[in-house]
Amino acid sequence: STAWCKGDAEWHLQLTDGGSHCDGVVQVMLNGTWVQFLDSDWDLEDASVVCTQLKCGYAIEAQKSSRYVSERGRVLLTNINCAGNESSLQDCSHSVMSESTLVYTCSEQVVNVSHMPKKHHRVRLAGLSSQCAGRVEVYHWATWGTVCDKSWDLVDAKVVCRQLGCGTAVRAAVSAEFGEGSGPVWLDDVNCHNYDFTLWDCPSADWGESKCLHRRDAGVVCSGNDLRLVSEEYDCAGKLEVFYNGTWGDVCTNGIDSTTVSVICNQLGCGDSGFLKEGKYDGKGRRVKWLDGVTCHGYESVLWECPSSPWGENNCQDGEEAVIKCSGEHALKSDYLRLLFNSSWV
């Protein structure tokens, strides 16, 4: 066996057969020839050094058997042992052997795990069918995780709501109110200020250092608006509901015409037209009726841009809730529902 020393000329690396320059079989240029690696102890620390050297971020996967097919070069380098903080693979200890392939997958988006650009974090709300209420989940190190509710308060919730374009926070939810998440608990002891722009701008414990269990997952309820059609049998038909001020409520049929229905269907991605169900709604009405007298002109992109009575003010009774069927795809699963809807739509 032999070894290359740190003083040798810098190695040139490439990844092949993976579909991008940050994904594939590891090769190094040696004496004008691309050669591959063999290493039974290859791990994420070793892979991370290659990702760093190639400016591909941190490694998210290290493999010893390839899903890629590569016939290029001999495999010479082996017994690679990196701490993970080296700037070049040749700084790691290594030796020489014979033939095989070695594969790993890199994240193309960030510089390294300790200096991750903020734009490559993401936040979302889960556990409900609303984009503006639910369990707070953050994307870090290519994995979705949750936030611990320790010190979680309305100021923290406001930062999340503002970041998601969901208005202001109505309530900061704790104790996994919207269900327990999975994966790591990324953030703990979050202490936002009103001027923080994103959740990761806020002071907190180090990423991934939480000892919280998922039964303490944090959530938010935002004031922002959302829209859905509720049906167990259809995905583009059902009772029309809007999310406002932290609560799902109904829309009354007064004023709704074909133009208004078209705006609703377009907003939901359910086609460009639809029908309003005739007659009284035969299900239980919700306690809150948010909108009444909605009449759109047709150029609006969302329902709440249309003229209507003030939110929460209405003249409709139970049974006058809007039920709509759009022209888009429908998931019909029940013969009973097929009969019911075919007899009700015009």
Is residue 334's pLDDT more than 80? no
48-62, 239-253, 314-328: least confidently modelled range: 48-62
Give the model's confidence band at 237: pLDDT under 50 very low, under 70 low, under 90 confident, else very high.
Answer: very high
Domain ranges within the chain, ordered by starting residue = 13-112, 121-222, 226-332
Token reading at 212: 């919280």
Cα–Cα dist 327/312, whole Å:
29
- Of residues 225 and 149, more confidence is placed in 149
Contact yes or no for 53/112 (Cβ under 8 A): no
State the pairing for strand pair 75-81/33-37. parallel
Measured from the Cβ of residue 179, the count of other Cβ atoms closer than 10 Å reads 13
pLDDT at 210: 92
Overall average pLDDT of the 254-264 stretch: 94
Overall average pLDDT of the 56-66 stretch: 63
What is 226-332's CATH number, 3.10.250.10, 3.30.300.30, 3.40.50.2300, 1.10.10.60?
3.10.250.10
Is residue 67 classed exposed, middle or buried when 0-12, 13-18 and 19+ CB atoms within 10 A define those classes? exposed
Measured from the Cβ of residue 178, the count of other Cβ atoms closer than 10 Å reads 20
pLDDT at 17: 64
pLDDT at 114: 27
- In the chain, % of residues over pLDDT 70: 73
Helix (H) or strand (E) holding 239: strand 237-244
Overall average pLDDT of the 115-126 stretch: 64
Backbone angles phi, psi at 130, to 5 degrees: -110, 145
Residue-wise pLDDT for 171-196, tens only, equals 999 999 999 999 999 999 999 999 89
Is residue 74's pLDDT more than 70? no
38-52, 116-130, 192-206, 259-273: least confidently modelled range: 116-130
- In the chain, % of residues over pLDDT 90: 33
55-64, 269-278, 315-324: least confidently modelled range: 55-64
Identity of the residue numbered 149: D
Is residue 75's pLDDT more than 60? no
SS3 247: strand
Is residue 233's pLDDT more than 80? no
Say whether domain 13-112 belongs to CATH 3.40.1190.10: no
Non-local (6+) Cβ contacts of 117 within 8 A are: 109, 110, 111
**What letter would DSSP give residue 206?**
P
Give the model's confidence band at 119: pLDDT under 50 very low, under 70 low, under 90 confident, else very high.
Answer: very low
Say how many residues make up the chain. Answer: 346
Give the model's confidence band at 336: pLDDT under 50 very low, under 70 low, under 90 confident, else very high.
Answer: very low
Q: What is the mean pLDDT of the chain?
A: 77
What is the third-level CATH fold of 121-222? Mac-2 Binding Protein (3.10.250)
Same fold, 13-112 and 226-332: yes
- Of residues 97 and 54, more confidence is placed in 54
Residue-wise pLDDT for 260-314, tens only, equals 999 999 988 899 899 998 777 777 656 789 999 999 999 888 888 889 999 889 8
Contact yes or no for 160/168 (Cβ under 8 A): no
> What are the C-alpha distances in Å from 257 to residues 223, 275, 296?
27, 9, 8
Is residue 133 classed exposed, middle or buried when 0-12, 13-18 and 19+ CB atoms within 10 A define those classes? buried
- Of residues 41 and 108, more confidence is placed in 41
**What letter would DSSP give residue 138?**
E
**What letter would DSSP give residue 148?**
B
Is residue 118's pLDDT more than 50? no
Tell me if the pTM is above 0.85: no
Token reading at 244: 């406002």
Is residue 230's pLDDT more than 80? yes
Contact yes or no for 53/88 (Cβ under 8 A): yes
Sign of the Cα torsion 183, 62, 92, 57 reads negative
- For the chain, the C-alpha Rg in angstroms (whole number) is 28
Token reading at 121: 């974090």
